[in-house]
Chains A and B, each alone.
Chain A
C-alpha cells in the first residue's frame, strides 16, 4: 500500500525505539520520584509483578496461568454457546424471508441492548457463579453472530444458485454444496467480530463473585493497592486478545482458502 519494505523496516524501528524510549523515561522518572510509584509503577516493578504472578500468584497462590486459563475457558464456552445457537438459527432466518422480516426489529433492538446492562439480571437469575459469566459472554457474541449468519445466507450470489439449478442439482445439494460454502467466509467474519465482542465483556463479567480470571485479578489487585499487579494483569489481557486475533487470522487462511479475505466480504 504505502512505502517499500525498507521504509517499513525504518518505520518499525522508529516505532519500536519510541516505545523503548518511553519505557526508559518512565523508569527514570519513577526512580527520580517525579511520578508516583503507586499510580504509575515503573517497568522494572511491573516485571517483578509479572514474576510474582507467575510463581507465587495473587490472590492466595492463584498464579497467572490459572487466571489465564479460567478466563480463556469462559470466553470459549460463551463463544461456543453463541455459535451453536446463532448459526443454525441464522441459517433458518436467512433462508425464510418472512422470518427475516418478522425478526429484524427484534434482533436490531436486542443488539443495541448493552450486554453489561444484563449484569444485574443474570445475577438475579443465575447467581454470581460460572453460568452467569458464560451467559453474559454468550449474549454478547450471539447477536453479532446471528446477524452475520443471516446476512451470509441471504446474500449468497444468486448466480451460484442458478448455475447449480441449471445442472439439475437437488435442493439439499444446493444448500450443502453451494449456499453453505458461499456463506462461510461471511460467517467466519461474523464469528471473529463476535469473539471480539465477547472479549470486551469479559472483565465486566468477572467483576462478580470470583477471584479467578484476569478480569477478577485486575479488580482484586486494586483493592489491595497493588497497581503493579493490576497493570501486569492488563498486559496479560492484552496479550490474550492479541493472541486470539492472530489464531483466528491463521484459522481463516487454513480453513477457507476460497474466501476472498475479510475486506471483500464486508464490502458486499
Chain B
C-alpha cells in the first residue's frame, strides 16, 4: 500500500464518518424530527426491536434468492441467445429486430402482465427480475460476438478448428469480457427491480419489509431496510467483479 493509497482510504473513512456523525447529531439534537429521519443508531435499535433477527435474516435470504434465481435464468437466456444471434447469421437476423422492439419497455412495465400470466406467487416476481437481467446480458453478449477480432477466428480456422469447437474454444473466450460487463449490469438491474417485484402481493423479503414498515410508521425499519438492500447490492456486486477479474481478467483487462 502506497502512502497516497492510505491517504485516500483515510479520506474516504473521514467522509463516511463525517456524514454519519452529522446525521446522528441532526437527529439527536432534534434539528430533524426523529419521526422523519431517525439517527442511524436509532434505526438499528428500532429494527432489532421490531423485527426478530431470525426473520430479518430470512427476509434477506428470500430476497437474495429471488434476485439470484431471476438473474440466473435471465443471464443464461441472455448469454445463449446473444451468442447464438452473433454466431449464426439467420438466428441473429430473425431475433434482433424483435428484441430491439421489446428492449425499450422497462421491466417494471411488465409487472401487470406478469401478474396476469403467472399469478401473485413467486414466479411473477422472478419473471420481472429475469427481464431485468436478460436485456443487458443479451445486448452485451451480441456486441461481444460482433467485436471479435476476425484474425483470431481465421488463425484458428487455418489450424483446423471448425464449427462448434471454433465457437466454444475461440469465439466464446474472445467475447467473454463483453459478456462479463453485461452480467454485472444485469445483476445491478435485477437488484434495482427487486423492490418493485416484491410489491406484488409479497409477504416476505426486504422489499416487503420496508413497505410493511411504512404502513406501521416504523420509519427506522424503513431506513434500515433501504441501507440493507444497498449493502447487499454492493457486496454482491464486488463479489461478481472479483470473480470476473479472476475468471476473465487473466487474458483481458476488464
A interface residues with partner B (beta carbon < 8 Å): 1-3, 10-12, 14-16, 18-19, 22, 38-39, 98, 101-106, 108-110, 112-121, 123-125, 199-204, 207, 214-215, 218-219, 221-222, 227, 230-231, 233-235, 237-242, 245
With both beta carbons as reference points, the residue of chain A lying nearest to B35 in the complex is identified as A124
Closest to B145 in A: A2
Contacts A1-B146, A200-B106, A238-B102 hold; do A120 and B222 have CB atoms under 8 A apart? yes
Query: Which residues from chain A contact B16 at a C-beta distance below 8 Å?
Result: 105-106
Q: Is the interface of A mostly helix, strand, loop or mixed?
A: helix
Q: Which residues of chain B in 82-116 are interfacial with respect to chain A, using CB atoms and an 8 Å cutoff?
A: 89-90, 92-98, 101-102, 104-113, 115-116
Docked pose: A263 CA to B233 CA in angstroms: 27
A241 touches which one: B105, B196, B207 (CB < 8 A)? B105
Query: Residue B68 at the A interface, CB < 8 A?
Result: no
| Least CB separation from B132: chain A residue | A200
- B182 within 8 Å of A by Cβ? no
Which residues of chain B are within 8 angstroms of A11 by Cβ–Cβ distance? 89, 92-93, 96
CB distance A204 to B98 under 8 Å? no
B19 within 8 A of A: yes
- Of B4-12, B48-56, B166-174, the stretch lying at the interface with chain A is B4-12
Count how many pairs of residues, one from A and one from B, have CB atoms less than 8 Å apart in the complex. Answer: 170
Bound CA–CA A117/B214 (angstroms): 12
Assess the B112–A219 pair: CB atoms within 8 A.
yes
- Cβ of B191 within 8 Å of any chain A Cβ, yes or no, is yes
| Distance in angstroms between the alpha carbons of A159 and B222 in the assembled complex | 49
When chains A and B are docked, how far (Å) is the Cα of A102 from the Cα of B154? 49
**B192 with A116: CB separation less than 8 A:** yes
- Tell me which residues across on chain A come within 8 A of B191, comparing CB atoms: 112, 114
Q: Using Cβ atoms and an 8 Å threshold, which residues of chain B touch A230?
A: 112-113, 116
The verdict on A109 contacting B230 (CB below 8 Å), with A101-B7, A101-B8 known, is yes
